[in-house]
Each structure stands twice: as C-alpha cells, then as structure tokens.
Amino acid sequence: MSELVLAAGRRFARLTTRAVVARPRVWGLFRGPLRRQFDRLAAGWEGRLGPEALLPLNAALERLPSPPRRVLDLGTGTGKAARVVASRFPEAEVVGVDLSPAMIEEARKVLPTELSGRVRFEVADASRLPFEDGAFDLVVLLNMIPFFEELARVTAPGGRIAAASSFGSQTPIYVTPETLRNRLAPLGFGDFEELTAGEGSALLATRGALV
C-alpha cells in the first residue's frame, strides 16, 4: 500500500476522531468507511508498529493497584494490546473487539496457543457493545476512539479505563487528556492519572459509584 494512501487514511482517522468525540451521533456516517479502511489495512497491520507503540499502555498497566480479572480491549486490531494484557496478568480473561472483521481474523491467526484459553476476539461496534453492564474491571483503549457513555456502561464500579496513545498528539486517533477527563468525570470516573512513556501518553481513570 502506497505512502500516499496511508497518509490519506491517517487524515481520515483524525477527522473521524474529532467529529465523533465532538458529536457522537455522527458516528453512523463514519462507521462504514472506517471499517472498510481497516479491513484493507488488516493484512499488514501486525508488523506496522514496533514495541515502542506499546510503551504508554505498559506504563498504564504498571500503575494498576491490583491485577484485573475481566478485561476489554477496544479497537483491538490484530490483538497486540490484548496479548500484552493477557501476558502481564496470567489470571485475566481478555476480550478484544474491533469493528473490522478482517482485523479480527488476523488477531485470531496470530494469537499464541498459550493465550488461546483466556483471550478471544469478536467483531463489535464500540458504540454499542454486546456486553452486560459492569462486565469488565479494566477497559483498554490503544489508539482508539472513545465512546464515553458505553465505556461507563461496561466498566464495573471500581474498575478502570486505560486510554493510551502510542505517539501522543501525533497519533492519528488521538484524544487529549483534558477531553478524556472532562467527558469521563460526569460519568462517575475519577482518580485520573496522566502518564508518558516513549513518544506516547496514557490516562488512567477509575469508575466510582454508579451515576
């Protein structure tokens, strides 16, 4: 795939992120084109970014006060973040979801056998997740558009969100820490902690009492 096409894809991802975070109702206009874009990228996605892209997520995971047991990885792609979480927390069950069926197919192909009993991948829209309320005590977003109401719904009281951007503001799908704080706080989240690692950043937030 040419660099020109990849650059256009990055611009579209930035446009989509800004639009959907500002006005979630417009997601329906972007869902199909974004899914098709990531379907086209899926075959080469696993090798596109190196270990440095995971540094902010790892920094956030290190700050968790206790190991999670039920983890949701939103926008899992080929499952890199899901595999990192499962390897770090050997008692955790991890579900990775992505809008792109091709990405999920790739994630299943590259999943190590030793993780297959605790990690599974499903096609799902992060704006309408097929999980019950409070189903997860950790929700991970690595370079992923946040759908704030749905994040709050599936995070258990006392559970945490770890939102990481591999390359900070240079990440195509990027939401500022200030925006994350401002949108999560009214939904019952607090104990915010901002982290930096490598070229990227992460935000941890804890779900308080139900609102």
**Per-residue pLDDT tens for 62-105?**
999 999 999 999 999 999 999 999 999 999 999 999 999 999 99
Question: Domains in the chain: how many in total?
Answer: 1
pTM: 0.94
Which segment of 6-15, 140-149, 181-190 scores lowest on mean pLDDT? 6-15
State the Cα–Cα distance between residues 76 and 144, nearest whole angstrom: 9
> Alpha-carbon torsion 140, 141, 145, 146, what sign?
positive
Q: Quote the longest CA-to-CA distance of the chain.
A: 48
Boundaries of domain holding 135:
3-207
Is residue 27 scored above 90 in pLDDT?
yes
pLDDT at 21: 97
Confidence class of residue 209 from pLDDT cuts 50, 70 and 90? low
Looking at residue 128, the DSSP 8-state letter turns out to be B
State the Cα–Cα distance between residues 3 and 48, nearest whole angstrom: 13
CB 85, CB 62: distance < 8 Å: no
pLDDT at 48: 85
State the Cα–Cα distance between residues 32 and 1, nearest whole angstrom: 20
pLDDT at 211: 43
HSE, CB side, 13 Å, CA atoms: give it for residue 211: 13
**Per-residue pLDDT tens for 37-67?**
999 999 989 988 889 999 999 999 999 999 9
* Residue of 143, 139, 132 whose CA lies nearest to 207: 139
Average pLDDT, the chain: 95
Q: Any idea what the CATH number is for the domain that residue 138 is in?
A: 3.40.50.150
Tell me the average pLDDT across 20-40: 96
Percent helix, percent strand, percent coil in the chain, to nearest 5: 45, 25, 30
Q: What are phi and psi of 26, to 5 degrees?
A: -85, -5
